[in-house]
Amino acid sequence: MQFLSQKIEIFFAVLLVLLPFKGELAIAYEDIMPIKDIKIGMKGIGKTVIHGNEIETFNIEIMGILSNNKINDNLLINGNSILVKVSGKVIEEAGGIAAGMSGSPIYINGKLIGGLSSGWVMTDHSVGLVTPIEEMMEIWDYPLSKLNPYEEEPIRWVSANGILLNRQQVFHVWEIQDFSQLSKIPERDVVFFHAATPVFLQGLSEKAAAILGSKLRLKKIQTAPSFSSILNPNMSSSSRGTTPVAVEPGSAIGVQLARGDINVTTIGTLTYKEGKRILAFAHSFLKRGRVSFCMTGAHIYHSFSSVQMPFKIGAPTELIGTITQDREKGLAGELGVQAPMVPVHIDITDKDLKKTKSLHFQVVRDSEVFKSVIESTLLQGIEGVIDRTGPGTALMGVATEFSNLSGLKSTLRREDLFYSSTDIVEVLIDEITELYSKIGENEFMSVVPNELLLKIEIEQKRRTLTIEKVEVKNASITPGGILEVWVTLRPFREKPIVQKAKLVVPQNIGREDLKLTVFGVTSRSEGDAHQNSTEEKTSKSFRDLKPEEPGKTSLSQLVGDLAEGPKNSDLLFQFSIEGDEEKKLKINGNDFEKQPTSGVVIGNIETTITLSEE
C-alpha cells in the first residue's frame, strides 16, 4: 500500500512500530469491520445525501473482494477494493451510484467497512467499488510532508476466483479518475469511475474555467451560477473562524480551493468521524499529498440520471474545517479549524469604456493552486470589463505579501506599463504568473503568498516609444567625464520627441573604445526596426536583464531586483568594451542607467564611443 511503501523507503525504523496497527484494527475500533471478515453475499446499508442536507440510507450487497498488485512507477498501490451491489429508493431516485456519492459510508451489521469510491461506467450504475476503511484510516498517519502530484494511472483490481457481472465471469476490473484513461484499457474490460462530483466553478466563464481545469489537471469541471443564497450570511470572505455544523458519516461536504466572487468547489461524502478528525471521498481529489484546503458543508439540490454516470448538483455552505491530506485512498481533515487563505483584491478599469470592476475572493495557500486560480480569474476579470480580445496598453500595479515557514514577511510592490499588438490580456497574465514563479521557486527558502492586490488600467491605444536615433553631443570624451546623449523617440504615429541624458563615463578603462547601448526592456526583432509588429514578450524582470552577481544569495535581494528592476517604460543605457560586449561597465555603480518615459520603449541602438586623450 502507498503509505506502507513510503514508510519502508523512508522510515524503516518507524514501520516496525506501525505494522501491528492493522492486526489490532478491529480491537481498537469496535465500529469497524476489517476486510478479512467481509464475505460475499453479506448485506448492509450505505448513507448519503441526495436532497438538501438529509442523510438517507440505501441497501448494499457484497459481490466480491478485489486486490491490486500492479506497481505504479511512482509508488506501490497494492491494496483491496470491495465490489458491491446497491439498491433501494435512494438509488432509484439518484439514477444509480451518482457523482457526489464518493465517500458514502458502507456498513454491515452496524460496522463500517469503507467508503464508496466508484461506479460502473455506462453500464450498470447499481454496481460500485468501496475503499476499505482500514486503508483509508492509514491517511491519518501519513507524514506531514508534501508529495508532488503525479499522473494518474488506471488501477487494475483482480479477483482470484472471478465475479459474475452481467452474466459474465470477470477476473479483473479497472478504476479510473479521468475518461481520457479509457484509451489505455482494453475495449471490453469492465471500468469503474470515481464517484466525485465535477469541480464546480462559479464566477468564471467557460474559457477561464477551461484554463483552470487544464492547469490543475481537474478531471471534471462544470461552470455553475452563484448559489449565494445558500451561503451562511454571517460568513464573510474575511471571516476568521469556522461555523460549528453537525456533520456525521453520510453528510455531504465540500472541498474549496477559492471562495468569494470566485468559487472553486467539489462535493463528496463524509465517510468516518473520530472526534474532530474525518475521512472522506474514498479517493483522491488533486492528489497533492499534505494540503490545507477548505472543508465546507454542502447543500444538494438534485441528483440527475445519466447514461455515462448519474451526478449530484450542490453548493458549498459554511466553512466547517480543513482538509489536511489528499491521498490515493481518500481525504483526511479536521473539523473546527480554518484553512489559511490568501485574500485577493483586483480592480480593473477600461479607460475607453470608462468601466471599472472589482473582484474580491480568497484562495487556499497552495502555490500551484494560487497561480492557477489567479491566471483564470485575471482572464475572466479583464475580458469581462473590456469586452474584447486583442491589442492594447495596460498600466498594472502589483502589491503582494508573502512569508517563509518561520512567519517572516516580505512585501513586493511594482508598477509597470505593458503593450501587446495581439493579446494584452495574455501579457498581463504572463507577468503575474512569472512573478509568482520566480518567488515561489527561489533557491533560498520556501515561501507562501499572504495577500495580493492588483490594479489594472487598460486601453486600446498603443502607447509605445520607438528609439530612432542616438546622438552624442560631446566634443571630447574622457574617462570619468560626463557623456551628453540625445535620444530621439517616436510615439506611435506621432511626431518624435528628444530625451536627453547625462552619463558618467567609467574611469580606469584604459584607451579602449566603448560601446553605448540604448534600449528598452521590450526590443524589436532584428531587421524589424521600422515595422509596427513587436515581440509578444513585453515584460522581463530585472533579473532577466542582468548577469548574476557574486553575493546575490538571499530572497530579499531577489525581491529587490523584481521590485526595483527596469520597467517596460524605462529608457536604458549600458556601457561595454568595444569588441568585448560581454564585459559590461558600471554607471554610477549600477549595470544600467535608466530614465522613465511615458510609453513602452521599443528598440535597441548601439553607438561607439572613442575616448579623447587627456
Whether the per-residue pLDDT at 18 is higher than 50: the answer is no
State pLDDT tens for residues 363-392. 999 888 999 999 999 998 999 999 999 999
CA dihedral 296, 299, 300, 301 (to 10 degrees): -140
Higher local confidence (pLDDT), 223 or 98: 98
Most confident of 123-132, 145-154, 579-588: 123-132
Poorest-confidence range of 74-78, 210-214, 269-273, 282-286?
A: 74-78
Residue 215: the pLDDT is 82
The pLDDT confidence band at residue 134, using thresholds 50, 70 and 90, is very high
Whether the per-residue pLDDT at 54 is higher than 70: the answer is yes
Residue 196: the pLDDT is 60
As given in the structure block, the three cell numbers for residue 545 are 536583464
Higher local confidence (pLDDT), 569 or 235: 569
Q: Which domains does the chain have, with CATH numbers?
A: 2-335 (no CATH), 341-459 (3.30.1490), 464-521+566-609 (no CATH)
β-bridge partners, 294 = 256, 322
Whether the per-residue pLDDT at 604 is higher than 90: the answer is yes
Higher local confidence (pLDDT), 170 or 312: 312
**Pairwise CA distance, residues 106 & 161, whole Å:** 24
Q: To which H or E segment does residue 273 belong?
A: strand 263-274
Closest CA to 448 of 374, 554, 340, 557: 340
**Pairwise CA distance, residues 261 & 255, whole Å:** 17
**Pairwise CA distance, residues 48 & 90, whole Å:** 9
Residue 137: the pLDDT is 94
Residue 202: the pLDDT is 86
The pLDDT confidence band at residue 172, using thresholds 50, 70 and 90, is low
Whether the per-residue pLDDT at 478 is higher than 90: the answer is no
**Pairwise CA distance, residues 589 & 365, whole Å:** 39
The pLDDT confidence band at residue 361, using thresholds 50, 70 and 90, is very high
Whether the per-residue pLDDT at 49 is higher than 50: the answer is yes
Tell me which amino acid residue 206 is. E
Distance set, CA 577 to CA 300, 513, 574 (Å) = 71, 6, 10
Residue 184: the pLDDT is 66
Closest CA to 181 of 157, 152, 210, 216: 152
**Pairwise CA distance, residues 229 & 464, whole Å:** 47
The pTM score is 0.77
Q: How far is CA 562 from the centre of its chain?
A: 22
Closest CA to 374 of 449, 294, 460, 457: 449
528 φ/ψ sector (left φ>0, alpha ψ -120 to 50, else beta): alpha
The pLDDT confidence band at residue 243, using thresholds 50, 70 and 90, is low
Residue 182: the pLDDT is 58
Higher local confidence (pLDDT), 486 or 554: 486
Distance set, CA 571 to CA 86, 322, 593 (Å) = 71, 49, 8
CB 605 within 8 A of CB 488: no
CB 292 within 8 A of CB 339: yes
**Pairwise CA distance, residues 199 & 285, whole Å:** 10
Distance set, CA 468 to CA 20, 310, 407, 471, 503 (Å) = 78, 65, 50, 10, 19
Dihedral sign computed on CA atoms, order 271, 272, 278, 282: negative
**Pairwise CA distance, residues 194 & 264, whole Å:** 19
What is the longest distance spanned by two Cα atoms in the chain?
Answer: 103
Poorest-confidence range of 74-88, 276-290, 449-463?
A: 74-88
Residue 569: the pLDDT is 96
88 φ/ψ sector (left φ>0, alpha ψ -120 to 50, else beta): left
The pLDDT confidence band at residue 123, using thresholds 50, 70 and 90, is low
Tell me which amino acid residue 514 is. L
Q: What is the residue-wise DSSP string for 488-537?
A: EEEETTS--EEEEEEEEPPSS-TT--EEEEEE-SB-PPTT-TTSS---S-
Q: To which H or E segment does residue 412 belong?
A: strand 409-420
Poorest-confidence range of 119-123, 433-437, 558-562, 584-588?
A: 119-123
Whether the per-residue pLDDT at 239 is higher than 50: the answer is no
Tell me which amino acid residue 165 is. L
Residue 65: the pLDDT is 87
**Mean residue pLDDT across the chain:** 81
Q: Are strands 409-420 and 127-132 parallel, antiparallel or unpaired?
A: unpaired
Higher local confidence (pLDDT), 221 or 320: 320
**Pairwise CA distance, residues 171 & 190, whole Å:** 10
Most confident of 5-9, 19-23, 289-293, 348-352: 348-352
As given in the structure block, the three cell numbers for residue 6 are 513510503
Contacts of 583 (CB under 8 A, 6+ apart): 576, 577
Beta strands in 139-204 (DSSP E): 155-165, 168-176, 190-194, 199-202
Mean pLDDT in residue range 205-223: 79
Q: How far is CA 20 from the centre of its chain?
A: 38
Give percent above pLDDT 70 in the chain: 73
